Amino acid sequence: MSLNRAIHPMRVFVRAKGAYMWDHTGKRYIDYHAAFAPYLLGHGDDDIDSAVIESMQRGESLIGAGTTPWEREVADLLVESVPYLEQVQLTSSGTEAVAFALRIARAATQRNDIVFMQGGYNGWMDSVAFNLMDPASALESHKKGQEHALRPISAGMDESTAKGAHAVEFNDPEALANVLSQNQVAAVILEPILQNVGIVKPQPGYLEEVRSLCDRHGSLLIFDEVKTGFRHALGGYQSICKVSPDLSVFGKAAANGYPLGVIGGRTEYMSYVCHPDPSRRVLVAGTYNAHPFTVAAAAATVRKLKERGKEIYAHLDRLGERMQKGLTRLFAAQDYPTTVIRQGSAFVVYFMEYEPTCWMDIARNNDAELDVRYRNLLIERGVFHFPVTTKQGSISFAHTSSDIDETLSITQDALQELRR
């Protein structure tokens, strides 16, 4: 993918299976990047790939003229599995799912503005592509309780989108309350754990407060579970935090690496896609939406997580704990000011002394340069973490205790080199 190429112009990967990937020289890496997290079951999981191959062999090619029984099956599986999904629509990516969720929110509230989180990522589309990992220098004058100035994450964006966009810090309910009371906000969209800048967890009561602020101000709450969904539980993070969003979006682990996005939520809002008044109806389109092969992958993934979820999530948690304990011990022995944070199988090492609560905290206190050097030393030694500061590590069901132990022993060596 292009971001990868921009950062790694000379690195060429040719194969991935289970917990590993190989570059063009044949060098093997234990993979924790997992293609930005979809590989919950590991690369090329045999059950998922077989389901796709069988779908091809049955001749289930793209028809695109009405629905299909297998699309129905996935919709039923998703609604049964995730607590606050009453209806769903399928897309081909997380970004598309977010775009349609925002459309539904605007149609339902007849308002325009969108609030998102500084340090969060909700896809590349112009209406939310702001304030991802701004440097501390850009945040100097920012104060708690305030909205951020907007900083686009790309050149070439439509300038007019900034008019209805608002960025606030995660875990800063006062800032959200101020924005909601001063603007006509259609929706607040957030990852319930900020996972594009590591693992930034909601403070106790924060998500509940976001929910009640949305209710008070007539805005919809959208959980972006593209990264948290299925990784932390079959029912998504919403099944853990028990806060009910109006709409949610999923992707990534929902089809274990096949390109799928899901928009779902309360019927009251999802029904806008077939609203009787054409002027209020929301168009959800896309030639490849609900493509039979991705749908086969999603059905097989969700079915496997339903049938073997206990074993799968217990394995992921056990390995996550082994990794967290091991890394904490290794960094402590080297006397580095680091904090290892984990949620189940997702983990990150912050190069700062305490657990951050928002991006501003990270931008000001995390030693990004040291983090990137650390990541590159690991890559040289055959452990792959994306070489950008705070990017989350993702353990898969295919990883074993010996992979974690090998990783820890390589880490020890990398830390000695980091000292030099």
Nearer to ligand PLP, 177 or 298 (CB): 298
257 binds ligand PLP (CB under 6 A): no
CB of 157 to ligand PLP, least distance (A): 16
**What is the residue-wise DSSP string for 143-155?**
-TTSPBPP-BSST
Torsion of Cα atoms, 228 then 196 then 160 then 181, to 10°: 70
Total residues binding ligand PLP (CB under 6 A):
14
Residue selected from 55, 81, 93, 131 as contacting ligand PLP according to rule CB under 6 A = 93
For ligand PLP, the binding residue among 18, 94, 292, 387 (CB under 6 A) is 94
Distance CA 90, CA 175 (A): 33
Site string for ligand PLP, 184-203 (x = CB under 6 A): -------x----x-------
165 binds ligand PLP (CB under 6 A): no
**Using CB under 6 A, which of 18, 42, 119, 123 touches ligand PLP?**
123
DSSP letters, 337-353, are --EEEEETTEEEEESSS
In the chain, the N- to C-terminal Cα span, in Å, equals: 33
Do residues 374 and 349 make contact, with C-beta atoms less than 8 angstroms apart? Answer: yes
Q: In this chain, which of 224, 246, 361, 403 binds ligand PLP, going by CB under 6 A?
A: 224
Of 105-113, 215-223, 224-232, 265-273, the window that binds ligand PLP (rule: CB under 6 A) is 224-232
- Per-position x/- string for 20-49, each x denoting binding to ligand PLP as judged by CB under 6 A, each - no binding: ----------------x-------------
Stretch that binds ligand PLP, among 15-23, 93-101, 315-323, 352-360 (CB under 6 A): 93-101
Question: Residue 401: what residue type?
Answer: S
Give the shortest CB-191-to-ligand PLP separation in angstroms: 5
Beta strands in 302-396 (DSSP E): 339-343, 346-350, 383-384, 393-394
C-alpha 328/C-alpha 377 separation (Å) is 18
Question: Vertex 391, ends 388 and 393: CA angle to 5°?
Answer: 130
Contact 43, 17 (CB under 8 A): yes
* Span from 80-88, 91-99, 306-314, 403-411 in contact with ligand PLP (CB under 6 A): 91-99
Residues found near ligand PLP in the complex (CB under 6 A): 36, 93-95, 98, 121-123, 191, 196, 224, 226-227, 251
